[in-house]
């Protein structure tokens, strides 16, 4: 079923649905840290090196970045920590942690390059060819033409040997090698364009060798991606991903200032999931479905608006969330923030990996288009029903990502280099938890909509860590979302594909619930103890900048910091 059309008077709300919030107050924020210029210079200098050495396969890149980060670490360590003000001490610890994280990332890049080396034995030679030209060292066209021909011959020989070489190869490594080959092909094209048409001798020698090399590069990348990894496109394309293993997960957690093991985080997810299941049964019984919570969930999914009416629904739901914030005096929302968000419709192609609406300054609305099949249309409407949407519109807009993004552009901007999904997604998820605690969901249908997403975030912890630990396949992850959370299978596959093939870091999907629980625990320590009001606490979190939540805690609670400080906060009680 679907609901009747929403009133046309709601349409003007698309650009200012949050206008009911009280006018913004002028609140004092943190003074600029004495390390701001050092942080911004490190970010700019490292970015220049990454652009100057863009080929990830390149040993030169790894060596140069390692040297740079080691020097930056030594310079940071040479500072007099005890002479720094409190904000600068926070930045010193964040900067040092970031440099250590970059060193570890470079080591991991080298390890992953070594895994692909047998598939791309010609890579170092091609990289050297490109890097010479980027430094303005022009080779002899005749000699370079011979190098291209040798590269083509090596590539052709590699393709002959490939079926034997990939017998025991992981699909993830083959897919990674295909991506590296695409990057190398792009670098070679840039190298060729640099002199083609400008240097007659270069054109005369290079045109034919380059024409012969292109199909070899394209064909080998296609073979690795499609025949070995099985990624041929379409709705049924498998999810491959690239698991990193337990040791790399521990390093990621250390850098995120999360003093838990992957196994401990999975236990937290299981505890939260059990709580959700109990509340789901309560709501199911209220709806007259007894303990058959999936039947209750099915009724909730059928309660969606008609095609074309989703934007007006989101505007209405955004206004509800804003009114709730105002009545509870929870956070300061600048007038320009309320005015500046807007909508766009999500393409059918993007909905293959992002089946639900996303937000920030621009809300991207996921809903059926005329090019979709009947099954795709029904799944899209069911997955974006009224109650699912009501639970998350605040997550995407205000007080979630839009407010957060607006403030991060204006307060403590140097700390954007330390951004972490535990802050980014944790802040938005925290408000889902907070709204639940305040009774925002009045009906059992709305509570089921909220619980669906909460269970989903618990499942994300379980399936993403399980995948990277080598305990779960992508297919098992999809089954988990379908059987234990109640996802539509197409939407579940899209979520898993987005998690593992979408360019997200290995901890991104766990950061929603874990970051939200961290902020909730901090709220209890600060607001629950009467140290700050609701508005003061939430404003302080936003004004301090995007950084690991344990450092947000240290700043807000003014905890003593030493240069050997380590993350120790056990936020889960």
Map residue 54 onto helix, strand or coil: coil
Q: Which of 106, 99, 101, 109 is nearest to 64 (CA)?
A: 106
Angle between helices 262-286 and 293-301 (to 10 degrees): 80
Angle between helices 534-544 and 549-556 (to 10 degrees): 120
Overall residue count recorded for the chain in this entry: 573
Per the CB < 8 A criterion, the answer to whether 310 and 375 are in contact is no
Which residues does residue 363 pair with via DSSP β-bridges, in sequence order?
343
* Rounded CA separation 412/399 (Å): 19
Question: Residue 156, preceding bond cis, omega within 30 degrees?
Answer: no
Q: What is the pLDDT along the chain (573 residues), one digit of tens a residue?
A: 555 444 443 333 333 333 333 333 333 445 555 799 999 999 999 999 999 898 888 899 999 999 999 999 999 999 999 999 999 999 999 999 999 999 999 999 999 899 888 888 888 888 888 888 777 777 899 999 999 999 899 888 888 877 776 767 788 888 899 999 999 999 999 889 888 888 899 989 999 999 999 999 999 999 999 888 888 876 667 788 889 999 999 999 999 999 999 999 999 999 999 999 999 999 999 999 999 999 999 999 999 999 889 889 999 999 999 899 989 999 999 999 999 999 888 887 777 667 777 878 888 888 888 888 888 888 888 888 999 999 888 899 999 999 999 999 999 999 999 999 999 999 999 999 999 999 999 999 999 999 999 999 999 999 999 999 999 999 999 999 999 999 888 888 888 988 887 678 999 999 999 999 999 999 999 999 999 999 999 999 999 999 999 999 999 999 999 999 999 999 997
Token pair for 54: 């863009």
* Rounded CA separation 513/268 (Å): 10
Per the CB < 8 A criterion, the answer to whether 523 and 394 are in contact is no
Integer angstrom CA distances of residue 11 from 3, 322, 565: 17, 17, 52
Per the CB < 8 A criterion, the answer to whether 362 and 292 are in contact is no
Domain boundaries, the chain: 36-116, 123-228, 248-556
Per the CB < 8 A criterion, the answer to whether 508 and 421 are in contact is yes
Per the CB < 8 A criterion, the answer to whether 221 and 178 are in contact is yes
Map residue 42 onto helix, strand or coil: helix
């Amino acid at each position: 079923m679907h609901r009747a059309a929403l009133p046309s008077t709601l349409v003007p709300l698309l650009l200012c649905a949050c206008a009911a919030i009280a006018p913004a107050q002028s609140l004092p924020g943190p003074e600029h840290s004495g390390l701001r210029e050092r942080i911004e210079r490190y970010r700019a200098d490292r970015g220049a090196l990454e652009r100057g050495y863009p080929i990830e396969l390149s040993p030169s890149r790894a060596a140069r970045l390692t040297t740079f980060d080691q020097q930056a670490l030594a310079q940071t360590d040479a500072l007099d920590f005890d002479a720094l003000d409190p904000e600068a001490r926070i930045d010193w610890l964040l900067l040092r942690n970031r440099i250590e994280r970059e060193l570890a990332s470079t080591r991991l890049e080298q390890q992953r390059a070594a895994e692909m080396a047998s598939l791309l034995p010609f890579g170092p030679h091609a990289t050297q060819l490109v890097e010479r030209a980027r430094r303005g060292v022009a080779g002899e066209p005749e000699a370079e033409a011979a190098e291209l021909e040798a590269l083509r011959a090596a590539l052709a020989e590699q393709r002959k040997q490939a079926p034997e070489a990939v017998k025991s190869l992981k699909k993830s490594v083959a897919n990674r090698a295909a991506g590296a080959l695409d990057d190398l092909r792009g670098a070679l094209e840039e190298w060729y364009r640099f002199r083609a048409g400008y240097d007659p001798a270069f054109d005369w020698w290079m045109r034919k060798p380059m024409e012969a090399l292109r199909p070899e590069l394209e064909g080998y990348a296609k073979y690795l991606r499609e025949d070995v990894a099985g990624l041929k496109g379409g709705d049924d394309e498998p999810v491959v991903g690239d698991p990193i293993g337990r040791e790399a997960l521990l390093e990621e957690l250390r850098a995120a200032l999360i003093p838990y093991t992957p196994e401990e985080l999975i236990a937290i997810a299981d505890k939260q999931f059990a709580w959700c299941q109990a509340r789901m049964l309560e709501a199911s019984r209220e709806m007259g479905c007894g303990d058959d919570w999936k039947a209750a969930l099915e009724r909730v999914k059928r309660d969606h608006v008609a095609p074309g009416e989703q934007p007006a629904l989101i505007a209405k739901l955004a206004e509800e969330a804003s009114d709730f914030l105002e009545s509870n005096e929870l956070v300061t929302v600048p007038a320009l923030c309320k005015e500046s968000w807007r909508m766009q419709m999500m393409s059918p192609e993007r909905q293959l990996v992002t089946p639900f609406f996303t937000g920030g300054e621009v809300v991207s609305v996921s809903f059926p288009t005329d090019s979709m099949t009947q099954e795709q249309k029904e799944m899209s409407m069911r997955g974006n029903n009224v109650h699912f949407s009501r639970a998350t519109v605040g997550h995407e807009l205000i007080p979630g990502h839009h407010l957060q993004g607006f403030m991060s552009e204006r307060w403590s901007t140097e700390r954007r280099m330390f951004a972490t999904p535990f802050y980014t997604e944790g802040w938005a998820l925290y408000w889902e938890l907070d709204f639940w605690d305040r009774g925002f969901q009045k009906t059992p249908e709305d509570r089921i909509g909220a619980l669906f997403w909460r269970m989903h975030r618990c499942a994300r912890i379980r399936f993403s860590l399980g995948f990277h630990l080598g305990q779960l396949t992508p297919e098992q992850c999809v089954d988990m979302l379908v059987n234990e959370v109640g996802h539509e299978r197409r939407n579940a596959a899209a979520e898993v594909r987005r998690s593992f093939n979408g360019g997200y870091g290995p901890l991104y999907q766990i950061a929603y619930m874990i970051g939200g629980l961290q902020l909730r625990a901090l709220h209890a320590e600060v607001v629950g103890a009467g140290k700050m009001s609701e508005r003061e606490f939430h404003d302080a979190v936003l004004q301090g900048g995007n950084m690991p939540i344990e450092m947000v805690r240290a700043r807000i609670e003014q905890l003593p910091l030493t240069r050997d400080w380590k993350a120790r906060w056990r936020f889960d009680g």
